[in-house]
Each structure stands twice: as C-alpha cells, then as structure tokens.
Structure 1
Amino acid sequence: MKPFLILQLRPEDAAADEEFQAFMARGGLAADQAARVRLDEAPLPALSLDDYAGVIVGGGPGCVSDDPAEKDPLEARIEADIMGLMPEILSRDMPFLGCCYGMGILGAALGAPVGKGRFGESIGGVACEITDAGARDPLLRALPSQFRALVGHKEAVEALPEGAVHLVASAPCPFQMIRTGKNVYATQFHPEARGENFANRIDIYRNRGYFAPEDADALSDAVMAEEITVPEKILRNFVQRFE
C-alpha cells in the first residue's frame, strides 16, 4: 500500500504537529499510510509521485496572491516547491487534496484569479451547501446537503477555474470546494479541523493579521461551540477512495 504524501507549510512546531495529527486521525490514516514533509524545514526533496497514493497539502500563513516583491522568503520558497509539483499532478490527474492554502495553489495552477479583495472569511464556522454537481461527486455523495465547516483565510479563488467543477459553496465565499479532472480537489474550509484544532491555531496565529489579538478568546469560544462533523468525512472519503 502506498502512503499519502502530506505536505505541511506551517513554520510553528505546535501548529504543524497538531495539523498533522488531525490529518491522521480524521483521515483514518495509519502510521505507514503517511509520508510527512515539512516544507518550512527544508526544500522539497527529490521524489517520484509514483511512490504515493495521493498528495495532501495543509494550510499555512502564506498567500499566493501576495506581491512577490514583498513575500516572505520562506513562504515564497514553499509556494514554489508546491507549484512545481502541480503540472505533473494535473497532467496525470493524481489524487490531490489541497486544504485552505491548497485552494489558492490549485486555483493559481489552473489560471484562476486568486485574491484578497472579495471572498476572505474571518475565523469561525460557516454554513456550506453542496451543489448539484457536488451531490454526484464520490467524496460528497450521501453526505448532508448543508453542513458547518471551519474557515479563516485572507485570500480566495475569485472565479471558477476553466474546466473545474464547483462542488461546495457558502454565502461569504462561493468556492468552498472544487475539483478538476476526476481526482484533483481543493477545499477552502479545513476538512481536518474541529473546534479544538482551531482554538489552538487562534492562539498561535493571534498576531498574523487574521483577527484583532484582543478577539482571540471570544473566537476560541465560538469555534469550540461549533458542531463540526461533515468536513472530516470528506477527508476520510478521499483517503478511502485512493488508498
């Protein structure tokens, strides 16, 4: 059985470790089913995608729409590493799940506009709705047509990429989940996260511009009060489909 390649972008140890454990637990992954690479620690090593069942990209503080001249050097290198994989992933229709930051990566790789001007969402829960096309998708079939998910992002895909399928929408951010080909997915929400995961991230990222630092405690209380059950089923379905 081939492992899933899990690419992480978070430079904070606590955030990276918590996210990885969430992917493992919510995805139902055994230890031998995951190959973890923290791109904040070193450039992407030479690898063959033939060795992996699929690729999962986690979230992080970077934004693909940031001005290249002002982009943090580490974030720029991480972005370049992931973007360098996308042509092969897309050409071979390799199983891929980009989460939050991964939506920007997939959108940019497909030539869609990605920016901060329209569909950013504050940290918290959001009501999502599965589209008609989404109801026919293998990852979403048999799930409730409406569900709550946890979000928090400055940038978003601003138009559906050419040839992509719109799977999940929300009122604040229309493109919550998309697919291109048969196997390449991205979610704007975090399919691995429950309230406790977001409360941890709120503490870590309180000074990264996602919210006013003085609002951290109230935001933590709000996400802990959310009942989040469906997004992790999407992650589990992805793993089960391609393992």
Structure 2
Amino acid sequence: MTRAPLLYVCVRPQKGAAAAEYESFRRATRLDEAQLGQHDLVREALPADVFDRYSGFLVGGSPFNATDPESTKTDVQRRLERDLATIAERAVDATTAALFTCYGIGVVTRHLGGEVSRAFPEDTGPTVVELTGDAASDPVFGELATRFSALTAHKEGSAVPPPGGVLLATNDGCPVQAYRVGDTLYATQFHPEPTPKAFTERMAVYRDDGYFAAPDYERIAARVLAASVTEPVRLLRGFARLFGPEAPTVTA
C-alpha cells in the first residue's frame, strides 16, 4: 500500500526564508511537490486531519528559541510550540514519523522532560559532527559517515538527550547534535537540508538577528561556501525512504 506524503512544517515568520527552506527540504529528500506538502504553522494551526493525510513530518528551523522567557513569547509562538509537541507525542507513540531540526529539537527536548539552555550555542557556519556507537544500527543514521560537516546557527542546546532519547550524533560545542526517541521520532540540532549556497541566502535574511555580527557576513559566507556538506542530505533521503510516500523521484 502506498504511504501518504510527508509534510514540511514551517515555523519561520519570514515567508521568503520559509519558501526557500521548503525547497531545500524538497531537493534534499528528492521528493516532488505532491510527495512533500507544506504547512505554515506560524499563520495556521495544525489541521485536525493532518495525521490522517500525511505519513510523517519534517519540521524546519526558526528564529524562535525554546528557551525564550514565557513572558516574551507571542501567542503565535506558544500555539505553534503546542502543535509541535502534539506532533512529537504522535511520533513517540509511533502513530506518525517526525524529524525536528534546530529550534524544533529544543521544543521536543523540553516537552519530553529534557533540559535546554543557552549554554551550548554554536556559531553560524560549518561544524564537525561525530556519530555515536548507537548510530551504527540506526536505520536513518547508520549509512552516514561517522564524522562529517554540517551547518549550524543556534543560540541554545542540550548536554544530554531527553528521557528515552538515544544519542546519535555529538560534538564538543553542543553535545546533543541528534537523537532518536522510539523508532519514529528524530531530532537534529544542525540543519540537514540546505546546501552551502542556500544557507548563505538564509544568513542574509537573519544577519541582524544576533547569530553573528552583521559586518562579518561576507567572511562567514565564504567559509560556508567552501565547506563540503554531503552527509546531512543523505540523512534526509534516508528518512524519506523509510517514512515517505514512494521511492524518491526528483533529482538534486
């Protein structure tokens, strides 16, 4: 029986950045627009029938932070975090599959009883990630190189996975780079979807948002463009093969 499509869940207020992120996920998974839907969670709550219509979820990044003080969170941020928690609960129960990235890993970690803090930020740009021993037998991470470059830009992170989480990837700057809970919930701190070029375009959108000093844009962008980033997209292709609608059909 053919599985339902996957759904990209947008949690970025900036429409241009969101559209580019969707395209990055689509190209990385090699799915077409019928196989990878999209939903703007910033502007519309999660539909009641979403779990009937889609076989799994890919959650993008956001300038929001899970550690933002509750007093500063907008009603939109509070509502979308509740919706992300609902997706996470369904993935933990194995009634759907989900991959949360960057901001999403913080929301899920907190919801599952883990700790997220501002103690583990990473600079904007490439970082080296190492897989753990548990990653070798994981159906998504098991085919990746044990050490690879990935792209990051975040202000928060975790020292250990939440209760029930299996650590899959780590590094010195941010010890929790990826984990799995059960068989169908995955979360990564790094961004698995963008090419270096797409990442620099996203950097331009957020150059005044405190991820890096705005005058340093050109220097950091050059470093990003020079990076070889091959394994993170393989992670997404593995997730799509395992939980997506059909064998991927769109070339990169």
User: TM-score scaled to structure 1, two decimals?
Assistant: 0.95
Contact 1:93/1:184 (8 A) holds in 2: no
Superposed, 1:72-151 pairs within 5 Å as: 72-92=74-94, 94-116=96-118, 118-151=119-152
Task: Provide, for residues 59-94 of structure 1, a one-character-per-residue CA deviation record: whole Å limited to 9, x for no partner.
Answer: 011011111101234323322222233323322352
Shift of 1:179: 0.2
* 2:94/2:182 contact within 8 Å kept: no
* 8 Å CA contact retained: 1:8, 1:40: yes
Instruction: Tell me, in whole angstroms, the C-alpha distance in 2 between the residues paired with 1:3 and 1:70.
Output: 35
- CA deviations 1:92-148 (Å, max 9, x no partner) are 3521100111211221121100111x2110101011111110111111223211100
Unmatched runs of 5 consecutive residues or more in structure 1: none
2:247 maps to which residue? none
Structure 2's unaligned 5+ residue stretches are 245-252
Q: Distance in 2 between matches of 1:131 and 1:234?
A: 15
Identify the residue that residue 42 of structure 2 maps to in structure 1.
40
Tell me the residue number matched to 2:191: 190
TM-score normalised by length of structure 2: 0.91
Identity of aligned residues (%): 34
The whole-number CA distance in structure 2 between the counterparts of 1:139 and 1:89 is 15
Residue 27 of structure 1 and its aligned partner are, at CA, apart by 0.6
* Higher RCO (Cα < 8 Å, 6 or more apart): 2
1:140–1:85 distance in 2 versus 1, CA, 3 Å? closer
Superposition deviation, residue 43 in structure 1? 2.4
CA distance in 1, matches of 2:78, 2:89: 18
1:179 corresponding residue in structure 2: 180
1:58 aligns to what?
Answer: 60
1:70 aligned residue:
72
Equivalent residues, number: 242
Matched to 2:59, the amino acid is V
Over 3 Å counting, the alpha-carbon distance change for 1:93 and 1:157 in structure 2 is farther
> Match of 1:162, SS?
coil
